[in-house]
Amino acid sequence: MDIRIIEYKNLNEKIYVYEHKSGLSAFVVPKKGYSKKFATYATNYGSVNSEFIIPGENNITRVPEGIAHFLEHKLFDQEDGSIMDKFSELGADPNAYTGFNQTVYLFSCTDRFNENFNLLLRFVQNPYLTDESIEKERGIIGQEIKMYQDHPDWRVFFNYLGALYHNMPVKIDIAGTIESISKIDKKTLLTCYNTFYHPSNMIILVVGDVDPDDIFNKVESSIKTKESRSEIKRIFPQEPETVNEKYVELSMPVSTPQFQMGFKDKAGFRGKALLEREVAVDMLLEMIVGKSSELYDSLYNEGLINSTFSFDYMIEEDYAHSIIGGESKDPIKVRDRIAAQIENIKAKGLDRSVFERIKRSKYGRFLRQLNSVENISYFFISVYFKGAYVFDYAQIYDKITFEYVNEVFNDHFDLEKLALSVVKPV
């Protein structure tokens, strides 16, 4: 068995890599002395992948929105009972989630790891689909969609994405709509499963005190498919650089207005270049509206923001945007104050000393996250499908320059690409 080792001596971390002949990549991040073990089985397939060309075909396949999430739910129902119950009986804590770009199945445990790992490898490769169970699941997910429609924080977020994007499917609810899931049937589910759950589009990751040889031997003997396959061609609509709408508003039964705002960013980054831009924008958000900034202090003391205030940056190969939000009695005033501060910084320039302080702080926070098998697993999956490894962040923090961050500041914080979503009281 050919096993490759990627070593990060400055972090005292290693990644053991095994490439299965089917095209599946398996990884082990050993954490000696840790009692908890974390295993993940993930596919590079999320809610945005509703148009694609199946390998070996020429025509575009279009499927209903929400099908990736639907399929995730269905894999937990097996002919011999619920997978969740089986994991619980083995003392594990299982979970799964569908995002915009990935679907992930996972469990953590301290005992009986081998039995739990075998269960994970088995059920993800064995979809059990019947017309009756699909119809039952349609009702369950329909209720879930309706429930989220009543959540102000969910509505303000997707309204914000709808304000940013004209055509990108990231603006569509991950679970789809009542109408879209009504079109999902067994044939369509199997089409998506056979396309995106092929091993060549998936990875297995184990983080914890385990033997890499043992893990890879289990993978070798468990993967049913033996042949690799060409890459799936994912189809996305043309997306203008402009925002769709600069302001959207919705009335709901909330006591305090909620808001999400931010800037639409350029796409097309991959690998370490993507990580570098992510780190730069994250640092800039901390510099502009972080808790140590003058603007945050001013907005908080004036009662314009509270403890719900937060920010983030989402970047994938095909789309990217920053997110700033929370509760506020006057979201428009918050937007205008942030916009004014950005204009002020553009006139005066970024503060190099603040950049250096934030850089040290962010790097320290990254290092602390490496003490958690959950954090390593979560970031590993997300970053790997973008063409990098989680430990590459260390090199990014080490080499990122003030000049580069200043360049990204002028590029990303374009007020013409600023959008605001508000949910206000009825």
Q: Which residues are catalytic?
A: 72
DSSP state of 150: T
* φ, ψ of residue 396 in degrees (nearest 5): -65, -50
What's the N-to-C CA distance of the chain in angstroms?
64
DSSP state of 200: G
Q: Around Cβ 167, how many Cβ atoms within 10 Å?
A: 12
What three-state secondary structure class fits 103? strand
> Any idea which residue has 């059920």 for tokens?
123
Got the DSSP string for 262-288? EEB------HHHHHHHHHHHHHHHHHH
Number of residues that make up the chain: 426
Distance of CA 96 to the CA centre of its chain: 13
State the helix-helix crossing angle for 352-369 and 271-289, rounded to 10 degrees. Answer: 120
- Long-range (24+ apart) CB contacts under 8 A made by 77-80 are 77/128, 77/133, 77/137, 78/123, 78/126, 78/128, 79/128
Alpha-carbon span 236 to 172, nearest angstrom = 13
DSSP state of 51: E
